[in-house]
Structure 1
Amino acid sequence: MSALSIYFAEKREFTKASIFIAFATATRLIGIILVFYLFLKIFEKGVNQLSKSWWTLFVAPLGVGLIGLYFQITRNNFLIIYSEHTNWGRSLSISSFEHLIFESKDLILQIFGPVKPVSINLIHFGTIFFFIFLAAISFKKIRKALWIYCLLTIIIPLTSGTYAGLPRYLLASFPLFIPFGKYLENHKSIMYVYIFLAIFIQAVFLIRFFNFEVAT
């Protein structure tokens, strides 16, 4: 849904983009970032375009409203999607961000301490730095609205208080991988290191999967 939403928004087919964004917002709360991205894309063309396409900004978030209404009827909880996140220890707050800092500090101390951190935690934590690298090389390579969207797909999950599960949010930032591919093409040695690490990390995930280990 994210890919189709971005595809049509980049082609300035805002009606189609808003429909796919509505589906995206119905599946995950993070999809609401696409609504902001759509606003930026429309605003890029100026006030005249905004006056023509303003109504798509009301269509785009319909998904989260409709799914909330469904859960209100069936579960008597309009905000069940958000409340489920809080049950997992995730919430958007200052205290959650402070928890993220302490969690990161503990992991860094473990790296240099006698008891090493679990490999999956290292992968999740390393995703932050990989994202920073991707964002840096993509800053002037993709349009600003798209870059801001990618930035928010990582920053907002981080403010929930943990970096666990961050790799799956990085997938939503797939536009960053387009200039990254060009970068690897021009830096062969880094490309080989990246391929090796990608295979190694995938192997770790597969081993954990077949051992019925949780992802966090």
Structure 2
Amino acid sequence: MALRLLLVTIAIMALASSFANASDPSPLQDFCVAINDPKDALFVNGKFCKNPDDVKADDFLFRGLNKPGNTKNPLGSKVTPVNVDNLAGLNTLGISLARIDFAPYGLNPPHTHPRATEVLAVLEGTLYVGFVLSNPPPGMKNKLFTKTLYPGDVFVFPEGLIHFQFNVGKTKAIAFAGLSSQNPGVITIANAVFGSDPPINPDVLTKAFQVDDKVIKYLQSQFWYDNN
């Protein structure tokens, strides 16, 4: 299991690095290990760099992707991200990684990564995955692409498009994802639309979804779980 985990992780990082330039800009030095933004500093598109003389090997190390995420939640899934916020050495390198654990029939709900393409590899279990295209022609619906994935299968979700993963098996599932940004971001559709703070005006959502305002108010009253 440990060897398989290592091989999958290396493969995902290699695949993601091949399209890393599609999002984040190329670095202008060997590395730029991130530090917390200095107080009162100007905003930068990324993280400030640690003094190279103070950089250590630990700045490029993350431990723990061999540990399952806790899937005991309403979605039955857990995403364990490895990005610039918990691996400082990723700063400016245009790449990140995530482990996704699924309980039987667990769901990673429809979401987008506004700054990254995602390549997903299945390690265990059976996943039904898909994404929806943008900008359909007049009179047409947004086209859906789906596949059922098995161990060893790889699927790509283009940058910014709504996508999902659903465990259709009776056993747990594990997948690893490489993303073409050090900080890909995630917008979970239901959470953003019905769980925003402050709430979106119900009149807007009633018209958008063509449902009674009681339905919108009910959805806005629910707790929208974040599995990230």
User: Normalising by structure 1, what TM-score?
Assistant: 0.25
User: Normalising by structure 2, what TM-score?
Assistant: 0.24
Highest RCO, 1 vs 2 (Cα 8 Å, sep ≥ 6): 2
Report which of the two has the higher share of strand: 2
